[in-house]
């Protein structure tokens, strides 16, 4: 099956403009034969929303999402937005939408508040990492900072996830002579490692463009279950990266390196309880 990674340039605070572009990307991805289109973190709002967080947030039953539900009858999609809960808590969330319904919601668990980041002031933190069935198979969604904490990947791994959707809005840092940012190389190293150790596809969707002095680093990519980068996008341009995935590679990777078979989550749980009790 083919998956499309949408390397997207958002317009800060303009939900309607970003929605129209999202729909256009979905149509283009469908024309290329993709069954799923994956968008970056907060693609529907832009990243540096801060003081306008409460203006651009939407509840999951908002009519604003209707066009996404409608196009999901033609192609599945994963989008990033600010979700307003019924209790009026605001989350950096990603939605998996299929067959006219929101099938899965992931709320970003780890909210960075260091360096250029200030998410903890505006967003609530998610509390769950849960695998779900996508059109590809058992999948999980993690958002940017989540992936810098091995616990979220481990939780995906022990649930048998075969496809990790890594949504990011990663600003470029450490420009290299090779025409890319240093942090883009780190993301690729991370994808190679996580995909190999979990026997999963690692699908990284990052954004591009400038926003309030941030330059986002692009270089979206797909790593296969053997830890090999099989497709990558450019550093600076909007584009659709369409990749053919082979489910059989998950089977062969896990047969050759049976880490999931041999994992002992009960030991992890026992030791976590011990550590917490000792502290």
Task: State the average pLDDT for the chain.
Answer: 95
d(CA 19, CA 26): 11
Distances (CA, A) of 182 to 155, 188, 229: 28, 10, 17
Centre a 10 Å sphere on the Cβ of residue 144 and count the other Cβ atoms it contains. 25
Q: Is the pLDDT of residue 201 over 80?
A: yes
Mean pLDDT of 195-222: 93
Grouping H, G, I as helix, E, B as strand and the rest as coil, residue 196 is helix
pTM over 0.85: yes
> pLDDT tens for residues 34-55?
999 999 999 999 999 999 999 9
> pLDDT tens for residues 61-80?
999 999 999 999 999 999 99
> pLDDT tens for residues 212-240?
778 888 999 999 999 999 999 998 899 99
Please give the residue range of the domain that contains residue 72: 2-278
Domain CATH number, residue 146:
3.60.110.10
**Most confident region among 11-20, 166-175, 176-185 by mean pLDDT:** 11-20
d(CA 172, CA 148): 16
Q: Is the pLDDT of residue 181 over 80?
A: no
Strands 229-232 and 239-244: unpaired
Distances (CA, A) of 17 to 22, 82, 106: 9, 15, 23
Q: Is the pLDDT of residue 204 over 80?
A: yes
Strand locations in the chain, DSSP E?
A: 2-7, 34-38, 76-84, 90-98, 101-107, 132-133, 138-143, 163-167, 201-205, 208-211, 214-217, 221-223, 229-232, 239-244
d(CA 82, CA 18): 13
216 DSSP 8-state letter:
E
Per-residue pLDDT at 179: 64
Q: Is the pLDDT of residue 98 over 80?
A: yes
How many domains does the chain contain in total? 1
Per-residue pLDDT at 168: 96
**Nearest 10 degrees: Cα torsion 67, 73, 78, 80:** 10
d(CA 150, CA 157): 10
173, exposed or middle or buried, with CB in 10 Å at 0-12, 13-18, 19+?
middle
> pLDDT tens for residues 129-179?
999 999 999 999 999 999 999 999 999 999 999 999 999 998 766 666 566
Per-residue pLDDT at 173: 61
């Amino acid at each position: 099956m083919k998956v499309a990674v949408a390397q997207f340039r958002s317009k800060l605070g303009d939900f309607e403009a970003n929605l129209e572009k999202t729909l256009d990307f979905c149509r283009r991805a469908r024309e290329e034969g993709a069954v799923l289109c994956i968008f970056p973190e907060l693609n529907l709002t832009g990243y540096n929303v801060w003081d306008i967080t409460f203006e651009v947030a939407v509840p999951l039953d908002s009519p604003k999402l209707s066009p996404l539900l409608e196009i999901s009858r033609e192609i599945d999609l994963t989008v990033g937005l600010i979700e307003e809960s019924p209790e009026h808590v605001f989350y950096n969330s990603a939605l998996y939408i299929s067959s006219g319904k929101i099938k899965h919601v992931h709320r970003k668990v780890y909210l960075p508040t260091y360096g250029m980041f200030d998410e903890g002031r505006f967003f609530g933190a998610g509390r769950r990492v849960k695998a779900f069935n996508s059109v590809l198979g058992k999948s999980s969604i993690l958002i940017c900072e989540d992936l810098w904490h091995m616990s979220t990947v481990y939780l995906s791994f022990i649930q048998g996830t075969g496809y990790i959707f890594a949504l990011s809005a990663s600003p470029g840092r450490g420009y290299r002579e090779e025409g890319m940012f240093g942090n883009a190389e780190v993301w690729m190293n991370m994808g190679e490692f996580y995909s190999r150790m979990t026997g999963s596809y690692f699908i990284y969707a990052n954004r591009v463009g400038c926003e309030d002095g941030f330059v986002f680093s692009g270089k979206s990519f797909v790593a296969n279950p053997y830890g090999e980068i099989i497709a990558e996008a450019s550093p600076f341009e909007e584009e659709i990266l369409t990749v053919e995935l082979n489910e059989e590679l998950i089977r062969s990777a896990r047969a050759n390196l049976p880490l999931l078979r041999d994992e002992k989550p009960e030991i992890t749980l026992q030791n976590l309880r011990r550590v917490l009790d000792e502290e």
